[in-house]
Structure 1
Amino acid sequence: MKIKNKMRHCKIVIAFVFFFVIQNIYSQDMRINYDMIYKEDSLSTETVAKKMVLLVQNGESKFYPEKQYEVDSLRASGFKGFAVGDHDFYVIKNKQNTGSKYYFLLRDVYRITEPVKLNWKIQKETAKKYGYTCQKATVDYKGRKWEAWFTQEIPVQEGPYIFKGLPGLIVYMKDAAGSYEFSFTALKKNFYKMELENISPKPLDISLANLKKVFIDYYNDPFREMKSGNVKAKFKDEKGNDVEPDFKEMTKNLQNSLRKNNNPIELSEAIKYP
């Protein structure tokens, strides 16, 4: 009986040590890469592919395009030249369980901050994905039904975009309409670390209603700043000769493009353009 008790005690100790080691490994900062595929136009079969990065630092996280991460890394290391980034799907989640979403328009950056409320339903179904044992979970979020797969082998309650709160890292997500898909590609412990909100100019806090108004105003007159002379821009033809811009035609083309971009990830918050 004493031997059995000792063996049971040893198993408990080993389990606690293993749990401590695993937690210690994944409690540190990390970079997680995802492939993202989505449809901008719900009426089209065309998709857009982006490589995305989830940075986890000091209990907070940042999700945004890898292209922008590379630009930020260059600038943080002292680079002063011109570099084109990508600000789509830009989200920062903090320790207080709130999420900030950033919207870049012309020379301004707008920030909406709200609690991250996700009513996850964990299913019994399991599967092997990307070499990890994963479990299925579902959630409804702002007009979309999502299926997610998470692994407790990476005990970080994080995931792509605004999604978090499961007992392990989300390695795959797809909405029921097949419009958005996130796929895990890599986890790195060594990466260039920087302040998460290293955004210039300083973001302007705004409500969702006012943000929609900003985008509607832009839709109605997208080249107002250029026409007024507040923003200087030169227009050239294919031969490099200066030409007078046709703002009416440019406005029409841009408005057509904005109307086609009718399939945002937060479907219930889609802007209804005229």
Structure 2
Amino acid sequence: MRFTLNIAVIFISLISFAQNGNYRIKYLLDFQKDSLDTQSVNREIMYLDIINNVSIFQSENLFKKDSISSTDNPYSLFGIPKPEFKYKIVKEDNIYNYFVDYSPSHRFYVENIDKVEWNFINDTIKTIENFKCKLAKTTFKGRNYSAWYSIEIPINSGPYKFNGLPGLVVELFDSKKHYHFQLLSMKEMQNMKNYTERKKYTKISKQDLIQLQNNIKIKPSIILSNSNLNLPKEGMDKYNNKHRELNKKFNNPIELTD
């Protein structure tokens, strides 16, 4: 499926831009799941929702799943693709709340926002779909990134945990192109809502979450421990073997270092 940058939608939003408004910014993310397999590239649409002074970054499919789950018709979930990324990052009051959904287990951790240190390449400018963009580079969580940003759109929040640029990120990618974000659209929204149900999440440390993720890779069935699903040993072994092989092919997280 081919995606194009929706200039008209962005332009209309830009005219009415207000620092405390509500906006949905869509990015197309191409990512390589297996670091050793160049054919393992998948893509997913990601949302950066800005609700006044709070930003929420998540996949489109996770947003749809959460919004439908909050209604009285959960059967509408059928037909929605399973989100590749089960996390949601809520930025508020200089902290990140990182929510992860390993249904039926739900966890979140809190960390301070570390401002990304950018190296601004001032003499490098290019036009991306009529937007004059400048280049900045950084090293973040074990990867080297290049970002094209436009000061015509004064938003300093970006995809994932990227921040601190003087304009909206139009394109961002690491040196190996394992993670490649491209701006699709920006639209002013009415009645935006954060569907995060904090009460169903258990707070843990980031290190504990990393340990949980490592444990799941070894024994995937541990995420079923809090469910009402009682599989016989043969079924549990089959589940573990299947998902253990799938996990081996998703070995290329966006954060390589803490």
TM-score interval, normalised by the smaller of the two chains: 0.7 to 0.9
Could you list the runs of 5+ residues in structure 1 that have no partner in the other structure?
1-21, 236-243, 270-274
User: Alpha carbon RMSD of aligned pairs, Å?
Assistant: 2.6
Which residue of the partner structure matches residue 170 of structure 2? 171
Deviation of 1:151 after TM superposition, in Å, equals: 0.7
Could you list the runs of 5+ residues in structure 2 that have no partner in the other structure?
1-13
Which residue of the partner structure matches residue 11 of structure 2? none
Which residue of the partner structure matches residue 63 of structure 2? 69
Deviation of 1:158 after TM superposition, in Å, equals: 1.4
Deviation of 1:69 after TM superposition, in Å, equals: 2.3
TM-score (norm 1): 0.76
Q: Which has the higher strand share?
A: 2
Amino acid at match of 2:52: N
Query: For residues 224-243 of structure 1, what are the structure 2 equivalents within 5 Å?
Result: 231-232=228-229
Q: 1:30·1:190 contact (CA, 8 Å) conserved in 2?
A: yes
Q: 1:130·1:184 contact (CA, 8 Å) conserved in 2?
A: no
Q: 2:119·2:136 contact (CA, 8 Å) conserved in 1?
A: yes
> What SS does the corresponding residue of 1:111 show, helix, strand or coil?
strand
Residue 229 and residue 52 in structure 1: after superposition, are their counterparts in 2 closer, same or farther (change >3 A)?
closer
Which residue of the partner structure matches residue 81 of structure 1? 74
Residue identity (%):
24
Alignment deviations for residues 7-39 of structure 1 (CA, whole Å, 9 cap, x no partner): xxxxxxxxxxxxxxx797231211111100001
TM-score (norm 2): 0.81
The alignment status of 1:35 with 2:24, answered yes or no, reads: no
> 2 CA distance for matches of 1:159 and 1:229?
35
- Determine which structure has more spread, i.e. the larger CA radius of gyration: 1
Residue 234 and residue 81 in structure 1: after superposition, are their counterparts in 2 closer, same or farther (change >3 A)?
farther
Query: For residues 1-274 of structure 1, what are the structure 2 equivalents within 5 Å?
Result: 25-27=17-19, 28-45=21-38, 46-75=40-69, 78-82=71-75, 83=77, 84=80, 86=83, 87-94=85-92, 96-117=93-114, 118-124=116-122, 125-191=124-190, 193-195=192-194, 198-199=196-197, 202-223=200-221, 231-232=228-229, 245-269=234-258
> 1 CA distance for matches of 2:109 and 2:223?
24
> 2 CA distance for matches of 1:254 and 1:53?
27
> What SS does the corresponding residue of 2:17 show, helix, strand or coil?
helix
Which residue of the partner structure matches residue 9 of structure 1? none
Amino acid at match of 1:247: M
> What SS does the corresponding residue of 2:209 show, helix, strand or coil?
helix
Relative contact order (C-alpha < 8 Å, sep 6+): which is higher? 2
Alignment deviations for residues 128-167 of structure 1 (CA, whole Å, 9 cap, x no partner): 1132111111111110111011111111111111111111
> 2 CA distance for matches of 1:207 and 1:92?
16
Residue-pair matches, total: 236
Residue 23 and residue 156 in structure 1: after superposition, are their counterparts in 2 closer, same or farther (change >3 A)?
farther
Runs (4+) of structure 1 exceeding 6 A deviation are none
